[in-house]
Amino acid sequence: MKISLSWLREHLRTDKSASEIARILTDAGLEVGAIESTGVAIPKVVAARILESVQHPNADRLSVCKVDDGSGAPRQIVCGAKNYKVGDIVPLAQPGAVMPGDFKIKVGKLRGVESEGMMCSSKELGLGEGADGLLILSPETRVGTPLSELFPAEEVFEIEITPNRPDWLGHHGVAREAAAFGCGELIGITSPPVAAKENPAVASISAPEAASLYSIRRIDGVKVGTSPEWLRKRLESVGLRSINNIVDVTNFVMLETAQPLHAFDAAKIDGALTVRFANHGESFTALDGKEYTLSVKDPVIADTKGAQAVAGITGGIVSGVSESTISLLLESAVFEPSVIRRSIRNLGISTDSSYRFERGVDARGALDASTRATALIVELAGGTPAPELIIAGSPNASRILALRGDSVRSLLGITIDDTAIETLLTKLGLKKVEAGFEIPSWRNDLTREIDLIEEVARLQGIGNIPSLVRGIPSHSSEADRSYDFARGLRRRLAGMGFHEARSGTLTGSLRQADFSTGAVVTVRNPMGEEHSTLRASLIPGLLEAVTRNLRHGATAVRLFEIGRVYRQEEPQERTFAGFLLTGRSLPENWRGEGSRPLDLFDLKGILEALGDCTREITFRPATHARLPLALEIVIAGKPAGILGLLSLADTREATVGGHQGGLVVAELDLALLQEAVGTAFKEASRFGALPKFPAVRRDLALLLDTSISYSAVEHAVLGAKEELLSGITPFDVFSDPKGEKVPAGKKSLAIALTFLHPDRTLTAVEVNDALTRIVARLREAAGAEIRG
């Protein structure tokens, strides 16, 4: 929406600059996107009178004109426009002028005839599209006048209008809002009062759902002609072209008051003008010459001959105003926005009028706009208006909204008394009455108490409302704790080099049954085969993800997924975490060192390290159809999931040629892991300075039953709780089935124990005493014997 600053100042008495007004409007909610400068500031462009026009000897579409530009000698101009006549005054770009687009005017020949300049259109001067052909200036324009004097520079606001504020679609409405926010004093529009009466023989409404008010004012004895310069400049400043004095007045009042108007040629209307819906298949030719086929949902203004206008959108060419018009029927109405929007979509027509009607217009302002336009038409085109305004329907009754001061103070968190609230709202045109506030007719958006509180906030200034903590924190719920735990797990796994995968809950993977501990839940009415079952395991989705990654060139993949699984025998959904490893432990290097294929023990170690809860997560051998090497994950003594190496057949199916290494997968119940770890993971280890004193290493060779796992040995050593012990590392294990070197049923396990004190060097006595206690613990907890 373009708002001319000079036009705005006719409705707003202010001494503020354009930038200050733009800031105030933006703070009020009318966002000023840009401030443009219009007008013509091109040297050597002047007003010139056409003295003569003859056909070009070598071109059918060109004419050769003689023009007077005030220089004392006529100039010869070759022109292609057809909308002028001899005697018209038009803009002339003389040789040396530089037009928009860096187009330089010079003397030259067109089809063999010399041309000493160029007569210009509105578009060529940067004044907007305008009518086709040359820009015809007012007959009173003095020849030789620079166009910079006729079209002085003017500042125009480009404003973003919200759909709920159609009152801002006119200069007066913008001025009213600016005045309410302290930008100046509003200058009202004064028009002589006029009586109104109903007369169905002139105007009627047969479709009340399409219009609530329809008015007609007859004006006889008008003379249609060119608009005066001031009116043309007003329209051109906001991008509208001048047509004639009657149409220009209706556009001017629309841009001033936001109320669209339409003028019919009274001589072309037969009978009463009626608001009705079109008949099925009824044809209509618009002002632009296009013919439309109407439907029963399109509202029209019709006489006895048929539709003369599509209500609220466009007039018809048959009844339009022309140079021969001497009597007018001036229409001003209120149409239902939803009906107008529907007709816009049906017909594919959008106009300045429909843009306002589809948002809603001021019902009481419609009659004032008719009076304002009538006075301007009489002033510019002469004529005698009918003494009465004929109306059908009626404006809506005034609305009153209650407003509680305590609600304003409580919701906004400010200290303000009821008198101050009334003062603020009165600035917007609201009137305090006993039951609350009477809403002005132009504020259709105010329908609830909260709307009035919002207006108080706008006027008070959002930036002036202090920030207060009003909320009461709620206690953490089980859902909150589960969410925080899952987020912490994601961060921990990302730190271990994993990437998160996401698969759909609905799936059609044939592998779901292979990795589910129960029957798969099927969808009763699936969208397709690929969405026929609910996910029973996360592992099939991870296998599909690793296949895509390997096909795109990845060599080492670490994936995890956290999501719900659904199993037939379990009435509740459960959240699981799935894991997948494949590839090598380190990238390849030129020495070929330090890299090996990732295996089951890598993922086992990662699972043990989750949450630093090695005492809670254990593993025991398991049998699984798809995992030839499988371990059951046990958390706090409860079965929690599965860990294993995928079979060779399934690995070949999931991977691509050339990939080396197996696929290690795991899946565990997140709720059981959370029970073991607690509500959150421990903080990452903090690193300190390197030890200043040397460590002491002692090696032990243990003789154990083959059934004793290394984890049991490690737990036994750590269970001794020796403060000086800083590390334990296994470095050898073997057994002898023949019983020659190691008794049958036994195995030898060699471990290295490291002892360290941060503040001094350890003595042999201290280390030996600690070692003795650890050995005793191993004998007691693991049944270990020390080999000689």
The rounded mean pLDDT for the chain is 90
Which tens digit of pLDDT belongs to each residue from 277-316? 999 999 999 998 999 999 999 999 999 999 999 999 999 9
17 and 164 co-located in one domain: yes
589 and 518 together in one domain: yes
Instruction: pLDDT band for 615, please (50, 70, 90 cuts).
Output: low
Q: For residues 548 and 589, state if they share a domain.
A: yes
Tell me, yes or no, whether 550 and 614 share the same domain: yes
Kind of pairing between the strands at 273-277 and 203-205: parallel
- Clarify whether residues 64 and 180 are in a common domain: no
The reported pLDDT for the residue numbered 682 is 55
CATH number at residue 161: 3.30.56.10
Q: With 60 as the cut, is the pLDDT of residue 680 above it?
A: no
Q: What pLDDT was estimated at residue 379? A: 95
State the Cα–Cα distance between residues 664 and 198, nearest whole angstrom: 88
Residue 88 confidence (pLDDT) above 70: yes
Same domain, 692 and 765: yes
Mean pLDDT of 756-768: 93
Question: What integer pLDDT is reported at residue 509 of this predicted model?
Answer: 67
**pLDDT score recorded for residue 587:** 76
- Mean per-residue pLDDT, 239-265: 94
What's residue 432's pLDDT? 95
Domain shared by 167 and 298, yes or no: no
**532 and 608 within one domain:** yes
Nearest Cα to Cα of residue 374 among 254, 246, 268, 274: 246
Q: Say if CB 256 and CB 352 are below 8 A apart.
A: no
Mean pLDDT of 156-179: 94
Residue 614 has pLDDT above 60, yes or no: no
555 with 424, same domain: the answer is: no
Of these ranges, 214-218, 500-504, 590-594, the one predicted with the greatest mean pLDDT is 214-218
Backbone angles phi, psi at 699, to 5 degrees: -100, 140
**Residue 616 clears pLDDT 80, i.e. is over it:** no
* Residue range of the domain that includes 673: 479-677
Average pLDDT score over residue span 756-765 = 92
Cα-Cα end-to-end distance for the chain: 97
In order, the DSSP letters of 491-541 are: HHHHHTT-EE----SEE--TTHHHH-SSPBPBPSS-SSGGGSEE---SHHH
Residue 247 has pLDDT above 70, yes or no: yes
With a cut of 60, say whether residue 730 has pLDDT above it: yes
Please give the Cα distance from 453 to 444 (Å, whole number). Answer: 16
Query: Each residue of 136-152: pLDDT tens digit?
Result: 988 889 999 999 888 88
Q: Name the token pair of 619.
A: 């593993």
pLDDT of residue 173: 95
Q: Which residue has the tokens 């949902």?
A: 297
584 with 670, same domain: the answer is: yes
Residue 517 has pLDDT above 80, yes or no: no
* pLDDT tens column, 373-394: 999 999 999 999 999 999 999 8
Tell me: do 30 and 81 sit in the same domain: no
Residue 741 within a domain: yes
683 found inside a domain: no
More confident residue, 42 or 611: 42
Task: Give a yes or no: residue 558 inside a domain.
Answer: yes
The average pLDDT across 500-528 equals 83
What would the two tokens of residue 311 be?
A: 């209500």
User: Highest-confidence range of 167-181, 563-577, 714-728, by mean pLDDT?
Assistant: 167-181
Residue 531 has what pLDDT? 83
Q: Contact 533/554 with Cβ under 8 angstroms? A: no
Residues 666 and 776 in one domain: no
The CATH number that applies at residue 773 is: 3.30.70.380
Query: pLDDT confidence of 355, banded at 50, 70, 90?
Result: very high
Q: How confident is the model at residue 532 (pLDDT cuts 50, 70, 90)?
A: confident
Chain segment 436-472, per-residue pLDDT in tens: 999 999 999 999 999 999 999 999 988 888 887 766 7
As a whole number of angstroms, the distance between CA 710 and CA 712 comes to 5
Residue 682 domain-assigned? no
Q: How many domains does the chain have?
A: 6
* CATH code for the domain in which residue 127 is found: 2.40.50.140
pLDDT for position 612: 52
Concatenating the DSSP letter of every residue in 158-183 gives EEE--TT-GGGGSHHHHHHHHHHTTS
User: Which of the two residues, 352 and 573, has the higher pLDDT score?
Assistant: 352
Per-residue confidence at 516, pLDDT binned at 50, 70, 90? Answer: confident
In a domain, 555, yes or no: yes
Instruction: Give the end of a domain, one of 612, 647, 677.
Output: 677
- C-alpha pair distances (Å), 490 with each of 395, 407, 575, 602, 766: 63, 45, 14, 18, 43
Flag whether 345 is in a domain. yes
Query: Which amino acid, 375?
Result: A
pLDDT in tens, 317-344: 999 999 999 999 999 999 999 999 999 9
Distance CA 100, CA 103 (A): 6
Residue with tokens 């100039």: 75
Query: Is residue 173 one of the residues assigned to a domain?
Result: yes
Band of the pLDDT at 191, cuts 50, 70, 90? Answer: confident
In a domain, 488, yes or no: yes
**Residues 353, 299: Cα–Cα separation, whole Å:** 14
Q: How many residues can be counted in the chain?
A: 788
Q: Is the pLDDT of residue 421 over 50?
A: yes
Mean pLDDT over 725-740 rounds to: 89
